[in-house]
A and B are shown apart, each in its own frame.
Chain A
Amino acid sequence: MSITADKPAPARSPRPERITFAQGMRDSLVVAKRNLLRMLRIPEVVIFGLVQPIMFVVLFSYVFGGSINIPGAGLDPDAYREFLMGGIFAQTVTFATAGASAGIAEDMQKGIIDRFRSLPMARGAVLTGRTFADLTQTAVILLVLAVVAVPVGWRVHNGLGNMLAGFGLLLLLGYAFTWIGALIGLSVRSPEAATSGGLVWLFPLTFISVAFVPSENMPGWLAPIAEWNPFSATVLGVRDLFGNLPEGYEAPDAWPMQHPQLASALFSVVIIAIFRTFAVRKYKRATG
């Protein structure tokens, strides 16, 4: 009654097929659409994503505004409000990390990941699609934040091209950070851990920087850390592009502060290259 056959024939297809870049892109967009639909149906996440930066704008502008010395402008609350926005924008885009890590951790726990893994789709598309969706969400939040910042006193002084370049740098940074979030989401055991794990390290990272306080005001040992912080390059680069630096402002001597736009783009690309590689590798190995 054996139902086991004799020797099986050798595999018929000689070599495994390659998934093309175009297919990977298409699969990623399908997954991105799925995640955007989810975001629309759970709008609380986007709304809370807006409350925090708006709160920071108001608190920092009016509570700290008159007490922080800006090189080139002194203790000028109006100058600080302009100065502040670059920091708030940059901090806001990094907070997309927490959304990516929580979303991916949640997916990995559910049956849906087995569905994806059993489909003939590009392996990295589940992660890439998620990061595309987070990038879209970040863009929307940035837009709303920019509109809110106008009545507080924030203006763009260097024309449309520079403004778009500034937002481009911000989105690139935000995209890089979602890949950090993706790796965190794949490394923790629960979505709850992913949310806090995606956030805690962002506070020291964004505060030990030139985002809220100029590095000139920091102790001598801390200033270089703030100036070499990859996050600072984006903040300063954006301020420069928006024309939010006081006249006569002189950037610190550190290389990223002297070439903030170049440094910002470089740091973001390096972060994407490293974290995307590790995240995709980890996803492929995950056995669920």
Chain B
Amino acid sequence: MPGAIYAEGLVKTFGDVRALDGVDFDVPEGSVLGLLGPNGAGKTTAVRVLTTLIEPDSGRAEVAGLDVVKHPNEVRRSIGLSGQFAAVDEYLTGRENLQMVGQLYQLSGRDAKRRAAELLERFNLQDAADRTAKTYSGGMRRRLDLAAALVVSPPVMFMDEPTTGLDPRNRQALWEVIEELVAGGTTLLLTTQYLEEADHLADTIAVVDHGRVIARGTSDQLKDQTGGDVVELVVHEREHIPLAEEVLRRLGDGDTSLVEHTRKLSVPAAGGAKLLAEVIRELDARGVEIDDIGLRRPTLDDVFLSLTGHTAEDEAAGTAGEEDGQAGTKAAGKRAATEGDK
């Protein structure tokens, strides 16, 4: 029995670009799927197909048990869409925006009014309810947009990069709202460039790159695929970076990665603590001074690097991420791409 969101072999091309190149996934009712990938990976196109905004060239998709191509209008009754570009009318007040959306969801005028008032309160917008959305801050607009998606409490929600461009405080606040929503039984498909976000919110994660799902599983499963723990260290002198990198490449179990300006290096360490000790000895023997060293669980950054040979941020040029400008260094003996469940 397929889940609340189901996609099979979705293909969508725009000119020469295969934005979706055979995407499958199945999201059980009440769970959260995180589509993780850089800009241009095809995440937004997948959301647009599933929310009936565009039709796929081939493949099939169902939302709430209904085919999105054959029954678009019924699908629209069951979904809410919230995007990275807050889809509200800036010349309308918050209240007017929500009432309009309610009426277009076919609520009666009175119900739309009542629901708008409820949502304004729930999203802490009651003080700004009768000001035009033009006067709202970025975080307020995003909350209004999310409120608009929730007007009919749809069983299936799509959020396309809900926190892109938000400051950490607003991002945290939005996460709380999303968690509350999911606790209430909503099925959610969430796209994000932030590995931390997928880790935090999603039950399962599908890593998307160039229109394909290149890996999937829970956050822990994906981390295990990269070979478990990671040795991470900070060298004291910038000149010692190449030397330290060479040591890690020789002793470690995969690609090394480097953040130039913080002098931070890391490498997968299947050997765990034993490898850590080896690295320390070797660096000491070569006179490389280190400020910090440790063993940590891999982050999804490491996962992305090991799957694609580049970090998510590499391709996400131009988007303001709070993460370090991390540059993946391709090392020899690159681990064969762990191809999920293929």
Contact = CB atoms under 8 A, between A and B. Distances in A.
Contacts of A41: 91, 132
A37 B91 contact: yes
A35 to B, nearest CB: 9
B204 A3 contact: yes
Contacts of A125: 104
A11 B104 contact: no
Interface string A1-25: 1111100110111001101000100
B81 A114 contact: yes
B1 A5 contact: yes
A27 interface: yes
A120 B105 contact: yes
A2 B71 contact: no
B321 interface: no
Contacts of B1: 5, 8-9
Interface residues of B, number: 52
A31 B100 CA distance: 8
B94 to A, nearest CB: 13
A272 B305 CA distance: 57
Given A1-B341, A34-B100, A114-B87, A119 B105 contact: yes
A156 B306 CA distance: 82
A210 B8 CA distance: 62
B76 interface: yes
B234 interface: no
Contacts of B76: 118-120
A1 B257 CA distance: 28
Contacts of B6: 5, 8
Nearest to A7: B2
B245 interface: no
Contacts of B25: 3-4
A16 B91 contact: no
B67 interface: yes
Given A17-B73, A111-B83, A117 B65 contact: no
A1 B217 contact: yes
A138 B105 CA distance: 29
Contacts of B24: 4
B74 A17 contact: yes
Interface stretch (B51-59, B182-190, B277-285): B51-59
B93 to A, nearest CB: 9
Contacts, number: 124
A120 to B, nearest CB: 4
Interface in A77-121: 110-121
Given A8-B62, A121-B104, A3 B26 contact: yes
B92 A34 contact: yes
A161 interface: no
Interface string B178-221: 00000000000000000000000000100000000000110001
Contacts of A42: 91
A157 interface: no
A22 B219 CA distance: 49
A2 B28 CA distance: 13
A12 B65 contact: yes
A38 B60 CA distance: 39
Contacts of B295: none
B88 A112 contact: yes
A112 B81 CA distance: 11
A178 B96 CA distance: 25
Contacts of A120: 73-74, 76-77, 104-106
A8 B106 contact: no
A288 interface: yes
Interface string B63-77: 001110011111011
A41 B135 CA distance: 13
A34 B65 contact: no
Contacts of A13: 66, 71, 74
B3 interface: yes
A1 B26 CA distance: 12
A107 B216 CA distance: 37
Contacts of A119: 76, 101, 104-105
A8 B3 CA distance: 9
Nearest to B72: A16
A53 to B, nearest CB: 25
B97 to A, nearest CB: 9
A30 interface: yes
Contacts of A112: 87-89
B65 A11 contact: yes
25 contacts: A1-B221, A1-B340, A3-B25, A4-B341, A5-B1, A13-B71, A16-B72, A17-B73, A17-B74, A26-B103, A27-B104, A30-B100, A30-B103, A30-B104, A31-B100, A34-B96, A111-B86, A113-B87, A114-B48, A115-B148, A118-B52, A119-B101, A120-B76, A125-B104, A288-B53
Interface of A: 1-5, 8-9, 11-13, 16-17, 19, 23, 26-27, 30-31, 33-34, 37-38, 41-42, 110-121, 125, 287-288
Pick the 4 closest A-B CB pairs, nearest first: A111-B87, A115-B87, A111-B85, A8-B2
Given A8-B6, A110-B87, 7 more contacts: A9-B1, A12-B65, A31-B104, A34-B96, A111-B85, A114-B83, A115-B101
